Amino acid sequence: MTAFRLSMATRLRQTPFTHRVETSGVTAYSVYNHMLLPSVFRSLEEDYWHLRSAVQLWDVSAERQVEIDGPDAFPLIQLTTPRDLSRMQNDQCCYIPVVDDHGRLQNDPVLVRLGATRFRASLADSDLLLFYKGLASGLGMDVSVFEPDVSPLAVQGPLANELVRNVFGEDTVRLRYFRHRRVSVAGTNMVISRSGWSRQGGFEIYVEGSENGEPLWDLLFEAGHDLDIRAGCPNYIERISGGLLSYGNDMTDEHTPFEAGLAKFCNLETPLCLGHRALVEQQEPSRMIRPIEILGEPVPEIRDRWMVADEKGNPAGSISSTVWSPEFKTNVAIGMVDRHANLPGSRIVVHAPDGEREAVIRDAFWL
C-alpha cells in the first residue's frame, strides 16, 4: 500500500475537536463534506479491538449539519424523501434516504426533529444544503436553510452507557434508540441521541458552539479514565462487518434506494416526494447491495470499485468496500450485485488488483 500525504488547507476544514484528535495521535484522515474526518489512530485493527471492548470518543463533525427552520420546513424535507415523516416526534431521529426527481440517492442523513417546524440533518458526504436551498428557492418556500455551528461528537463502544451515565445521568442512558433529549453540562446546552455509526452502541452529542468542543472533550475524557476511553473514529473494519452503508462508497447518486436495500424507508402508497413516480417504477431492482465474503488472503486496499463476475464469467456488479477482519478471519465486503447472481450462497469472482478472487454472497453481515 502506497501512502500519500494529505495536503492541508483552510478549504479542508478543521473541527472544534481537531487539536484534541491530533494530540490523541490520529495518523490518517479522510475528507468528508470538505472537513477532516479522522480514520486511523493506532492501526485499523488495534482501533477495532478497542472499539469492540471499551469506549471511544469520535470527532464526527464532518457529518455536517443543515438546519431547516420555518413554516415550510416539514414540506421541504418530505419532498426530498420517500420515508413518511408524518408521525415523526419532536424527540426523534430518522434515517432518511434523500432522492432527486429520478429517484436516485443524493444523501442519506439522519434527520433530527427539534420542534414542529425545526429540523437538523446530519449529512453523509454531499452538499445537500445546496439541494434544499435550490428547491426552497425554486418553490418560493417560507423556510430558512443554513449550516448551524453544531458539531457532532460520538461516544461509541460497549462502555458508552457507563460513560454517559457518569456525565449526563440515568435519564440520558434510558434514551431509546434514535431518540434524543436536551442536556446541559457545565453551563453548555447540547442535544444527545442514542445513535452512532457503529454496531457497538452509543450516543451522538450535537455540540452547540465550536468554543464548547474542547471543554466537553476534556470532561468526557476525564470521566472515562477508568473505562479505558480513547479517541477513535468510524472504523472501516467494524462498519463493513456490521453492514453500515456509506454514501459515496456503497451507493452513489447512480443508485436507487431499492438497489441500496432501503425499501423499508420508501412509503409509496401516496406521492410524498419528488421522486415518487420514478420510485414506483424502480421497486424491482436489477441489482442490490449484498454482504459478501471474499475468500483467501487479506485483500489489498480498495480504491475504486472492483468488478465482479458470475460463475459463467459474465459481468455481475462490483465490490465497493472490503477489508480483512481480524475477528472473523476473512475479508468482509459490501458490493452491488446483479439479481441473477446475488442470492445468498451464490459464488462470484472478484477482479481484485492482485488477481481473481473467489467470493460468496452471504445472507447477513457479521455483526
User: Which residues of the chain form contacts with a second copy (CB under 8 A)?
Assistant: 2-14, 22, 26-31, 34, 39-40, 100-101, 106, 125-128, 130-139, 236, 246-249, 274, 301-305, 320-321
Q: Name the phi and psi angles at 193, rounded to 5.
A: -130, 155
Nearest distance in Å: CB 226, a second copy: 30
Compare residues 43 and 53 and give the one whose CB is closer to a second copy.
43
Contact between 115 and 23 under an 8 Å Cβ cutoff? The reply is: no
Compare residues 300 and 344 and give the one whose CB is closer to a second copy.
300
Nearest distance in Å: CB 68, a second copy: 13
Residue whose C-alpha is closest to residue 128's, from 146, 101, 152: 146
Compare residues 154 and 263 and give the one whose CB is closer to a second copy.
154
Nearest distance in Å: CB 216, a second copy: 20
* C-alpha–C-alpha distance, residues 220 and 89, integer Å: 29
Decide the pairing of beta strands 56-59 and 230-232.
parallel
Q: Is 92 left (phi over 0), alpha (psi -120 to 50) or beta?
A: beta
Q: Name the phi and psi angles at 151, rounded to 5.
A: -130, 120
Nearest distance in Å: CB 116, a second copy: 23
C-alpha grid cell for residue 255? 443508485
Nearest distance in Å: CB 264, a second copy: 24
Compare residues 161 and 322 and give the one whose CB is closer to a second copy.
322
Residue whose C-alpha is closest to residue 347's, from 310, 318, 305, 295: 310
Cα–chain center distance at 363: 22
Contact between 188 and 204 under an 8 Å Cβ cutoff? The reply is: no
For residue 215, give the amino acid letter: P
Compare residues 44 and 85 and give the one whose CB is closer to a second copy.
44
Q: Find the angle CA(18)-CA(21)-CA(22) to the nearest 5 degrees.
A: 90
Nearest distance in Å: CB 7, a second copy: 4
Nearest distance in Å: CB 121, a second copy: 13
Nearest distance in Å: CB 259, a second copy: 16
Compare residues 224 and 317 and give the one whose CB is closer to a second copy.
317
Compare residues 39 and 200 and give the one whose CB is closer to a second copy.
39
Q: How many CA atoms lie within 13 A of 240 on its CB side?
A: 26
Compare residues 11 and 225 and give the one whose CB is closer to a second copy.
11
C-alpha grid cell for residue 58? 469520535
Contact between 367 and 238 under an 8 Å Cβ cutoff? The reply is: yes
